[in-house]
Amino acid sequence: MLLILGLLAGLTLPGLAAEIRIWLPQLVALLLCVSAMRIGLRAALGSLVDLRASLTALLILQLILPLGALGAILALGLGTHPLALALILMLSAPSIAGSPSFAAMMGHDPAPPMRLLIFGTAVFPLTAMATLWILPGLGGAGAVLGIAARFALVIAVSVGAGFALRRAFFRDPASDTIKALDGASAILLSVMVVGLMAALGPALRTAPADVGFWMVAVLVANFGLQALAYRAGADPGTAIVAGNRNIALYLVALPAAITDPLLIFIGCYQIPMYLTPIVMARLYRR
């Protein structure tokens, strides 16, 4: 319910959304730290079998899937369509920072999405470049390396701090402590989404038809990818990552002429993203 309230606040309180947007990097770092405290280093790394499964899922999600979709789009002659560009960039991006928290909210193991978040960000420069070099009309691809490296550093510091705090203060946390950390994650996510929705509220008032088109697209892409991944045998945490990607990483790496048409897509994308723990919970219980 906090996530829904955050979505509504982001749409109806543009001033507050603009203020919170400034603090999004710090909120992401804090969320990662809380998630790492909740999971712990041993569970996050898992066994060799877990690591192999995560790397296989990563290869499929961030390389094979976007390149396959790109090939189909180019074959249809749609390589310059804004929706095609948005979908390809989304598919090649790593997991959102909140995916471990989403898994925990639904009662599933948050360790698999944490592994995909960490390793996916580490290989993001490679997967992004593989896509950007092929996709026509994009410039400034080299800047992706810098932003990916900075994002990887933020993850390393935040997650490392979370693991260290857990080791120092509660190596074997009680169930009440776990619930408290899950509650803290829910509060942080509900605040973050207000800032992430900063561009969507004005667009909804000035161009409602465009917003409607992008909304249908993101609902199908996000929920559809999650459902397909889960039906294909992925665990719930990995399926969550399949549909929830950090496409916003590209905003600071690509030219404004390329990214400006994507702003409404990114704003709409927050809707299915933050409704995931509610909408998809029933599917993941099966």
271-285 pLDDT tens trace: 899 899 999 999 998
134 pLDDT above the threshold of 70: no
The whole-model pTM stands at: 0.81
Angle formed at CA 192 by CA 252 and CA 55, multiple of 5 degrees:
65
Task: Kindly state the tokens that stand for 97.
Answer: 């920072």
Contacting residues for 236 by C-beta, under 8 A, at least 6 apart: 103, 106, 108, 109, 230, 284
pLDDT cut 70: percent of the chain above it? 90
**Structural domains in the chain (count):** 1
Note whether 129 and 144 are within 8 A (CB). yes
Q: Which residues of 148-175 are buried (b: 16+ CB within 10 A; e: fewer)?
A: beebbebbeebbebbbeebeeeeeebee
In the chain, what are the helix, strand and coil shares in percent, each to the nearest 5? 80, 0, 20
CATH number of the domain that residue 101 is part of? 1.20.1530.20
141 pLDDT above the threshold of 60: no
Mapping DSSP to helix (H, G, I), strand (E, B) and coil, where does residue 82 land? helix
Tell me what pLDDT residue 284 has. 92
| Whole-angstrom distance, CA of residue 190 vs CA of residue 98 | 11
Q: The domain containing residue 41 runs over which residues?
A: 2-285
57 burial type by CB count under 10 A (0-12 exposed, 13-18 middle, 19+ buried): buried
pLDDT cut 90: percent of the chain above it? 29
